[in-house]
Homo-oligomer: A and B are copies of this chain.
Amino acid sequence: MIEQYSNPLSPEALQQIDAYWRASNYLSVGQIYLHDNPLLKEPLKIEHIKRMLLGHWGTTPGQNFIYVHLNRIIKQYDLDMLYISGPGHGGPAMVSQTYLEGTYSEVYPTIGQDEAGLKRLFTQFSFPGGIPSHVSPECPGSMHEGGELGYSLSHAFGAVFDNPGLVVACVVGDGEAETGPLATAWHSNKFLNPVNDGVVLPILHLNGYKIANPTVLARIPEKELFALFEGYGWKPYLLAGDDPLTMHQQMAGLLDTVVADIKAIKKQATDDATAARPCWPMIILKTPKGWTGPKFVDGLPVEGSFRSHQVPLSDPSQHPEHLTQLEEWLRSYRPQELFDETGRLQPQLQALAPEKEKRMGANPHSNGGLLLQDLRMPDFREYGLKLDGRGMKGPGDTLVLGKFIRDVIHLNRDKKNFRLFGPDETLSNKLDAVFETTNRQWMAETIDTDVFLKKEGRVMEMLSEHQCEGWLEGYLLTGRHGLFNCYEAFIHIIDSMFNQHAKWLKVTAGLPWRRKLASLNILLASHVWRQDHNGFTHQDPGFLDHVVNKKASVVRVYLPPDANCLLSVMDHCLKSRHYVNVVVAGKHPSPQWLSMDETVIHCTKGIGIWEWASNDACQDPDVVMACAGDVPTLETLAAVSILRERLPELKIRVVNVVDLMKLQPESEHPHGLSDTDFDALFTKDKPVIFAFHAYPWLIHRLTYRRTNHNNIHVRGYKEEGTITTPFDMTVLNEMDRFSLVQDVVDRLPQLGNTGAYLKQEMKDKLITHRNYIRANGIDMPEVRDWKWKG
């Protein structure tokens, strides 16, 4: 089934493309081994070799091969192309290529186009304080880090959404292809609009091996391999071989074919709005792992085997024959033909690279902040609920937000630079209003009864959190805006993707040539406290713990207590830059607390005393009742109302936290309160009863350095739950109003018998509650219909 492609290269072009490839391979081997003698002007000696040999050769020559051929078609067809290096450790290739095309030296002038520059280029690689062996943010042209595997294809699709002129060549490693996220990412073609979006050209690099094993896709019959990609809805082209000159001709011919396919698809889609989902081309490139490297080392096969994954000749200093072999290997690329005496690439080879921003290392889409434009934002205040009494029931906080998001979408409809992502939960999370102005983008088949499914839409839904997150990351990395809405418990599915993105943000923030991106905004609705018909499996508020482990400069966590606060917070998040913002909000009808004017003040501060709920007259309270999150705020205020009614002389202060990072010391987080401000809110010595949305120890972890920490008593989710009523969830975790009242009593021995009676009454209430819900399946009216009386 191996096809034959045309051989379009003239003899001269063939020799030049091969020379360019040799140059890049030479630079790649040089990075792994050399810290001196970069042009091999003298015979190779041990002292020219790095003392620690680290790096990855296996995938590198194949990626160099792909890159030089992509350069050719960029020039030939004037393409706007990005390169994504999916395999884990293709660093040497992309660094070599961006150096050869000139972008590397433009970004890092000390690594110039001369012998000294070459020496520095080689030395920095896999060297302390240098660059890692995978493609990293330091590498120009990169928008996808090769450290963790599985997200290249989702990133590629994210990059081309709303970039109709862009082609992303996405090299997928055959090891990476075994990961779950990558395995489902092939289905992204059902979500790509051929008119309004760009093109992803996947190149499965079937070099056969991972670290120590063959790859699955390299060991199935070719018939299955083709069927698999046809089944995924692609048109696969296979190119296999190891003879360089034959392969150059065939690759050039294949890419000509593929470009023709792409142009035909684009044209047909533009000409015929009713055209069915196209079958985009993809390439399966089968070349030996460690191609052109040593064939055997110490008698064992290396080229074409897993043994070429890292450093094929591992210890020249101890094995003289390795040194000889290394020199032969390096000289096999004939560097003296490729570089002039000063170390500069020969001009006729330089001419093979595209120019200026057409160079893949200089494509502005890979440094998305360059292209980023502010969103046109509606005034969030206009979407607020009019507060008709503290605690009035709202329609569901996310439902209110939905209207705001709808208009964000509407106002930016021409710019096409905002999308909403979610795993089939946009309606479930009550963001329905967005469908008044847009649809879900869906290129697969449709039938008459479908709703909100169109070929073009701002809402992207596939039942894969990995896919949603990956698409959004790719979209942001190329300079656009977005929001991911997800069930709270299942956001852990992308824990590791969040890690990688947060690290990308941290590193790029320190690179002056990188521009800041729009923040990654994650809305967690359907949260832990509402489990009416899910259950224990849907209960995990621990994403917040995970997030705050990352560098304070890039993470933000918000817990708006009501709809108006949610609007304010989301407005802030959508305008912010280079953060990961996590917002937790409820979707069920729930009490509302602040007018819009109060909201603006409260959310600007991020934390504050709710004076209308307090009776300490801004003086010394007896107890501080703190809360963060919608349900904790409700239970706190219900507890406060019991306490104020039953113990009117007790001075209570209510503190609400919207911006969780306010709790950390200012030395730890830029949002952190000073100790003076913290003490002013939480006192230096009074009991603090803190009802918290997530696991209670997170509050301790954030506040353990505060003066009054020893008096802070936190209630939150402690892994108790099942399918049950909203109120019962709080009871099971002792965060309910009746338990909070008991907590207060326990910490105020001065209440004496009065306290003891109240405590007993609260215990009785809990028993009554339990019996009631067991009999009726719903909460007691006194809880369900509770109203704040301020």
Contacts and interface: CB of A to CB of B under 8 A. Distances in A.
Interface of A: 35, 50-52, 54-56, 126-134, 136, 145, 147-150, 175-176, 178-185, 187, 190, 210-216, 219-221, 224-233, 301, 305, 310, 424-428, 440, 442, 444-447, 449-450, 453, 461-467, 489-490, 492-493, 495-496, 499-500, 503, 506-507, 532-538, 540, 542, 545-546, 549-551, 695, 697-698, 700-701, 704, 709, 719, 722-725, 728, 773-774, 776-778
Contact of A533 (B133, B467, B532): B133
B537 A453 contact: no
A496 B55 CA distance: 32
A532 B232 contact: no
B178 A184 contact: yes
A506 B535 CA distance: 14
A299 B548 CA distance: 49
A213 B440 contact: yes
Contacts of A728: 128-129
Contacts of A148: 489-490, 493, 537
B719 A52 contact: no
A530 B52 CA distance: 14
Q: Which 9 A-B pairs have the closest CB atoms?
A: A147-B537, A228-B231, A180-B180, A132-B535, A54-B533, A227-B231, A183-B183, A219-B444, A183-B184
A179 B180 contact: yes
Contacts of A489: 148, 496, 499
Contacts of A424: 175, 210-213
B549 A545 contact: yes
Contacts of A181: 180
A145 B503 contact: no
Contacts of A534: 132-134, 147
A131 B723 contact: yes
Contact of A463 (B134, B179, B190, B221): B179
A58 to B, nearest CB: 13
18 contacts: A51-B777, A128-B777, A130-B722, A132-B536, A136-B536, A147-B534, A150-B180, A178-B467, A213-B440, A213-B461, A228-B232, A492-B496, A493-B495, A503-B536, A503-B719, A507-B536, A700-B701, A701-B704
A410 to B, nearest CB: 21
A130 to B, nearest CB: 7
Contacts of A463: 149, 175-176, 178-179, 210, 213, 215
Given A227-B227, A500-B537, 14 more contacts: A129-B728, A130-B722, A136-B535, A148-B490, A180-B467, A212-B428, A214-B447, A219-B446, A231-B231, A310-B533, A495-B495, A545-B549, A697-B704, A701-B701
Interface centre among A301, A536, A724 (most CB of B within 10 A): A536
Contacts of A447: 214
Nearest to A230: B227
A225 B427 CA distance: 28
Contacts of A220: 190, 233, 444-445
A735 to B, nearest CB: 16
Nearest to A446: B219
Contacts of A776: 51
A221 B230 CA distance: 11
Nearest to A231: B228
A533 B126 contact: yes
Nearest to A127: B777
Contact of A216 (B214, B226, B444, B545): B444
B704 A216 contact: no
Contacts of A445: 219-221
A126 B723 contact: yes
A87 to B, nearest CB: 11
Nearest to A729: B128
A133 B496 contact: no
B719 A550 contact: yes
Nearest to A721: B503
Contacts of A540: 496, 499, 549
Given A133-B534, A536-B507, A778-B51, A549 B695 contact: yes
A37 to B, nearest CB: 16
A371 to B, nearest CB: 25
Nearest to A532: B54
Nearest to A700: B704
A780 to B, nearest CB: 12
A307 to B, nearest CB: 9
Contacts of A546: 492, 495, 542, 545-546
Contacts of A496: 489-490, 492-493, 495, 540
B126 A52 contact: no
Contact of A723 (B127, B149, B426, B499): B127
Contacts of A697: 701, 704
A413 B504 CA distance: 46
A512 to B, nearest CB: 17
Given A231-B224, A463-B215, A134 B535 contact: yes
Contacts of A425: 211-212
A649 B134 CA distance: 49
A445 B467 CA distance: 30
Contacts of A178: 184, 187, 462-464, 467
A789 to B, nearest CB: 27
Contact of A777 (B52, B215, B774): B52
A128 B230 contact: no
B228 A128 contact: no
Nearest to A311: B533
A491 to B, nearest CB: 8
Contacts of A777: 35, 50-52, 127-128
A214 B443 CA distance: 12
Contacts of A56: 533
Nearest to A493: B496
Nearest to A773: B128
Given A462-B216, A490-B148, A52 B232 contact: no
Contacts of A147: 534-538
Nearest to A180: B180
B179 A182 contact: no
Contacts of A145: 537
Contact of A219 (B182, B190, B211, B698): B190
A464 B179 CA distance: 5
A213 B50 CA distance: 56
A190, A724, A774, A777, most chain B CB atoms within 10 A = A777
Nearest to A306: B451
Given A426-B212, A462-B216, A132 B722 contact: yes
A130 B723 contact: yes
Nearest to A694: B549
